[in-house]
Amino acid sequence: MRRQDSAVLVRGDGVAAYCCVHLLQQAGIPVVLDRPARPRLPAIMLSESALALIVDTFGHKDLFRDLPRIRTRVVLWGSGADPVTLPHSAVVVSEEMLLDSLRPSAIPIFSPAREGGVELTDGSRPGWRVFASSHGELESVEHRFGSRTACAFSVDLQNGEGAGCWVESTEEGWLFLVGNEGKGWLLSVGAQASVNLERSRLVAKQIGRLGESIGQFPASPRITVPLCRAGGERWLACGTAALAFDPLCGDGTAHAVREAILATAAIRAVFAGGPAEEILAHYEARLTAGFERHLAHCAGFYRAGGQGAWWCAELQALERGRAWCQDRLSQFPAFRYRLNGYQLEAIA
């Protein structure tokens, strides 16, 4: 392998970026991390399966073991429905806390003044770029299926004891509330929070005080195309640079880890002499298939959430997305590779 092809430059400052760095280091591949500044999410709910995946990938056996668990989820979904209490097991952490726990140590940090044809810290030039967060260099087109936005708020809960999670659909959107020991975080999607809360039969009763908005962001699923390039300066996208999931139906952290595992496995396979175009076509097809499954999952919830114009419009957008994915998948060959641990192997 030529020296200028031996380094990977990872752009991002989230779970996908850190996972890529960790797995590439484990494989003995030189890697440099570019950490663009970005705002942090105030709270992330990690299911037990997401935690298990993170622990298995990063090897942090005691990660968040001592944090209180959310043991139940109360759901009121659909016009005229009654609240249903379901068993649940998850922890809630700030994104800052999560990233502090996973951030790689002893990793070269990229300096913009050193790239542009200038050697990186180990004397090599990046033969690969991994985009794990949106970046102006990413040569892709965004396809978004829906127009919904989400607003996040800090809240004081009526009941100051224990941890809980509540999910509710309204006439023009939905509410998600999670909290512990009197403090919580509210996500309002669709209509303005004041409208959603006015029409709420479940979530509004749990809130003692609604704080100021702490952020607004798109909440409809998104995919960028293409997701990778095999020729010239090779690159691939994963994490938020590749896909965005509806927060109602997507465990975004677990998705980010899985994408990073597949991305680094693809890079390792090409480094080992595999056919780059074929391997990256597999990577793009796998991510597109996963995105289509997410849209199908979302469609079930949006079909049941309500019958008004907002619900119908968002459901139609999801169905358009599924048709788009199926058409795109028809252009790829049958899967020729599979993951074996953290490595990609050809299917005999």
The residue among 292 and 2 whose pLDDT is bigger is 292
Q: Determine the Cα–Cα distance for residues 248 and 187; give it in Å rounded to an integer.
A: 10
Mean pLDDT of 160-189: 91
Q: Is the pLDDT of residue 250 over 80?
A: no
Mean pLDDT of 297-325: 97
Q: Is the pLDDT of residue 179 over 60?
A: yes
For each of the domains in the chain, give its residue range(s) and CATH number, in order of start: 3-40+94-145+220-346 (3.50.50.60), 43-93+148-219 (3.30.9.30)
Which residues, at least 6 apart from 36, have a Cβ–Cβ distance to it below 8 Å?
11, 12, 13, 133, 135
Cα angle, residue 79 at apex, residues 74 and 85 outer, rounded to 5°: 15
Q: How far lies 62's CA from each of 52, 57, 58, 67, 187, in Å?
A: 10, 13, 11, 11, 29
Tokens for 78, please give them.
């659909």
Q: Encode pLDDT of 50-74 as tens digits.
A: 999 999 999 988 889 888 889 999 9
Which residues, at least 6 apart from 43, have a Cβ–Cβ distance to it below 8 Å?
92, 93, 94, 95, 178, 185
The pLDDT of residue 111: 55
Longest dimension (CA), the chain: 65
Q: Determine the Cα–Cα distance for residues 123 and 280; give it in Å rounded to an integer.
A: 27
For tokens 């430059």, name the residue. 9
Rg (CA), the chain: 21
The pLDDT of residue 115: 47
The pLDDT of residue 110: 63
For tokens 């358009």, name the residue. 320
Q: Encode pLDDT of 150-160 as tens digits.
A: 999 999 999 87
SS3 content of the chain, % helix, strand, coil (to 5): 35, 30, 35
Q: How far lies 120's CA from each of 18, 99, 147, in Å?
A: 19, 25, 41
